[in-house]
Amino acid sequence: MDIEKDMEMLQRLQNIDYDLGELERSKDYLPEMINNLEKEVEITRDALCASERELEELTLLHGNLELELATFNTDLTKFNKQMKEIKTNKEYDALTTEIANRKVKISSTEEEILKTLTRLDELKEQIKQYQQKLEEVDKNNSAQLVGLREQLSSIEDKVKIKEGDRKNITVRIDKKLLATYERVRKGRGNQVMVAIRRRACGACHKSVPPQIIQEIRKGDKIFTCDNCGRIFIWTEDSDK
């Protein structure tokens, strides 16, 4: 068994498995990212549409209030003229009541018109801001969405390529060593090969005896952590 070659193949295999894991994870987070970007545009557009609907409704309301106010003022003018023509106390009392009633309605309507005009001004500014935001969000998110959708649609092709690379490498690795790799990967995830760090396993931090460290450094044999089962490798940083 060519240890150096097998370790090199295992390292390449681990890199491929990491890439495959990332591709699988991207199947989950890419749709979520796409959904969030689409939702941001939708929420902004809905807010704009809601403000525009309110503006339309308030504009109509303002028009109706102005018509009502005009009617009340016409009535008040008419009643004031009639005051000069009344002949009985009963007519005077009735007309006075009507005048007072119209004055109350005029005051109330004028107050409603003022509130409506204030809200109309607020809405016009709000709509302007929403329009600017929608334009920015739509522009920015559209560019991102194109890229994300392209990534999502190409995942399966990338997976097939990586799986092909994996197959080509696994047939070149010693079967016993490959079995060890696969067993550890199944139990520990894609971090199968770990470097010695400070005379301990770089993954679980279990101390490694000095004599084993010397053997690992030579690279003549393959050693695994007696705690987590991962395969040890020696790097330039292992002495640190």
Between 218 and 164, the higher pLDDT residue: 164
**Whether residues 159 and 139 fall in one domain:** yes
Number of structural domains the chain divides into? 2
**Whether residues 148 and 185 fall in one domain:** no
Q: Cβ(163)–Cβ(21) under 8 Å?
A: no
Q: How confident is the model at residue 116 (pLDDT cuts 50, 70, 90)?
A: very high
**Whether residues 167 and 206 fall in one domain:** no
Q: What is the dihedral of CA 145, 148, 149, 153, to 10 degrees?
A: 180
pLDDT in tens, 121-154: 999 999 999 999 999 999 999 999 999 999 899 9
Residue with tokens 């009535």: 75
Q: What's the pLDDT score for residue 239?
A: 64
Tell me the Cα Rg of the chain: 40
Query: Quick one: average pLDDT of 38-64?
Result: 96
The domain boundary residue, chosen from 157, 173, 189: 173
Q: What's the pLDDT score for residue 226?
A: 87
pLDDT in tens, 221-232: 888 898 888 988
Q: Specify the CATH number for the domain of residue 53.
A: 1.10.287.1490
Q: What's the pLDDT score for residue 1?
A: 57
Q: What is the H or E stretch that residue 197 is in?
A: strand 193-197
**Whether residues 28 and 120 fall in one domain:** yes
Q: Which range of residues forms the domain containing residue 120?
A: 3-173
Q: What's the pLDDT score for residue 54?
A: 97
* Mean pLDDT over each residue of the chain, to the nearest integer: 91
**Whether residues 168 and 188 fall in one domain:** no
Our measurement of the distance from residue 178's CA atom to the centroid of its chain's CA atoms, rounded to an integer in Å, reads: 40
Q: Is the pLDDT of residue 240 over 60?
A: no
**Whether residues 92 and 160 fall in one domain:** yes
- The DSSP annotation for 150-174 comes to HHHHHHHHHHHHHHHHHHHHHTTS-
Query: pTM for the complete prediction?
Result: 0.62
**Whether residues 64 and 111 fall in one domain:** yes
Query: Quick one: average pLDDT of 85-103?
Result: 93
**Whether residues 78 and 191 fall in one domain:** no
**What proportion of the chain, given as a percentage, has pLDDT over 70?**
98
pLDDT in tens, 172-222: 888 888 998 898 888 888 789 888 888 898 888 899 898 888 888 887 888
**Whether residues 152 and 228 fall in one domain:** no
